[in-house]
Structure 1
Amino acid sequence: MPRLHFVGDDGTRYEVEARVGETVMLAARAADVPGIIGECGGSMNCLTCHCYVAPADIARIGPPTQIESDLLDGVIEARENSRLTCQIVVRADLDGVTFSVPQWQG
């Protein structure tokens, strides 16, 4: 199982085992990572699963779809490496990727 790393807004680190094929949001929620809420269940309506992908890992994740990109324009403190974790499907090659939870979400 790939291991994903999350950094909370207070600097606390979480290592999460994720199943290939599930979303990063579901893996984070199953592990109770603070700040990854996913109120809409992954339908891109709430933006409460927003995170920052570590710059070193962004190429491994791939770009957002146009719809996700448009939605990210409305996120508080959006950055170039902002993503919605509900839109990232876990793959084996994502082992070790780091996501940071924005302060306003934590």
Structure 2
Amino acid sequence: MSKKISIMNSNTDGVNDFIENCITDAIDALASTSKEKYKQKTSLIENATDMTTQEKLHALDENYDSHMQEIIMGVTITVLSVTILGIAIKNHIPIKHVLRLPA
């Protein structure tokens, strides 16, 4: 709670730096997690002995598509969150109402 209040009371440069750091951390975490899952699934598909070549190619295509969907979804959620946060920072009334909500 004190972190939220200090953000509200700080100048806009500090808020912008905080938001920028949060965005960077979220995108980096999303990309690394998605990349790890993609590589792991790719190695499992390539090492599978009970699949034909066509099935492997199809599975690799689906794996790549799901990897890209995860990245696009994560970026979309991050952009929407930042947009909502930006609107809330410019207008302090929504923040005050959110802080009043019971935990």
Is the TM value for this pair above 0.5?
A: no
Structure richer in strand, relative to its length: 1
Q: TM-score, normalising length from structure 2?
A: 0.22
- Highest relative contact order (Cα 8 Å, sep 6+), 1 or 2? 1
Bigger radius of gyration among the two = 2
Q: TM-score, normalising length from structure 1?
A: 0.22
